[in-house]
Amino acid sequence: MKAIQHILGEVDELVIVVGSAQFNYSEKDPFTAGERVLMLRAALKEAGVDLGRVIIIPLNNFENNHSWVKYLESYVPPFDVAYTGNQFVAMLLRNAGYRVVQQPLFSRDIYVSTLVRKKMMDGDETWRELVPPSVAKILDELKSVERLRVISAGEADPLKW
């Protein structure tokens, strides 16, 4: 939220790309792209962000890295500057002529998705302090703890069944 709010202080409109959109109910991507959009919007609303300035686009992965920026372009409105913390994505965007800004990170060692998921599965209720209240509420409604536990039991890999 802080990173998004920071960026919104620098730009008019922000496109947030929800990647790996084709995956869900997996260890890396336990939630559907739609559920991720839901949580993002809830948290932004809660933080008082003007949702009208935020465009959230689910994007499937695409294996041809050389063509990835063009692929990205075809799914999002035109953009002037890109924020990312991923140096590889930054290189691809720069090669394509975009201005790239290092995405600001806040307390990156505390807000770690792997850690949040681990706490949830371990029954450690302090995970609730690591996500916005509105997101915690949605995670409860989605019965996320149960979902994560079943997924992490290691049988969710479609290659196995």
Q: Measured at the alpha carbon of residue 126, what is the angle toward residues 125 and 128, in degrees to the nearest 5?
A: 85
Among the residue ranges 101-109, 113-121, 127-135, 146-154, the one whose residues contact a second copy (CB under 8 A): 146-154
Contact by Cβ (8 Å): 55, 12 = no
- Residue 102 found at the interface with a second copy (CB under 8 A): no
- Residue 76 found at the interface with a second copy (CB under 8 A): yes
For a second copy, the closer of residues 75 and 111 by Cβ is 75
- The answer to whether the Cα torsion of 69, 57, 27, 133 is positive or negative is positive
Give the nearest distance from C-beta 7 to a second copy in angstroms: 17
- Report the C-alpha gap between 31 and 23 in whole angstroms: 8
Q: Measured at the alpha carbon of residue 74, what is the angle toward residues 39 and 105, in degrees to the nearest 5?
A: 45
- Residue 48 found at the interface with a second copy (CB under 8 A): no
The one among 2, 70, 99, 108 contacting a second copy by CB under 8 A:
70
The one among 4, 43, 68, 139 contacting a second copy by CB under 8 A:
68
Among the residue ranges 1-9, 20-28, 101-109, 120-128, the one whose residues contact a second copy (CB under 8 A): 20-28
- Residue 117 found at the interface with a second copy (CB under 8 A): no
CA distances from 130 to 69, 77, 116 (A): 32, 32, 7
- Residue 150 found at the interface with a second copy (CB under 8 A): yes
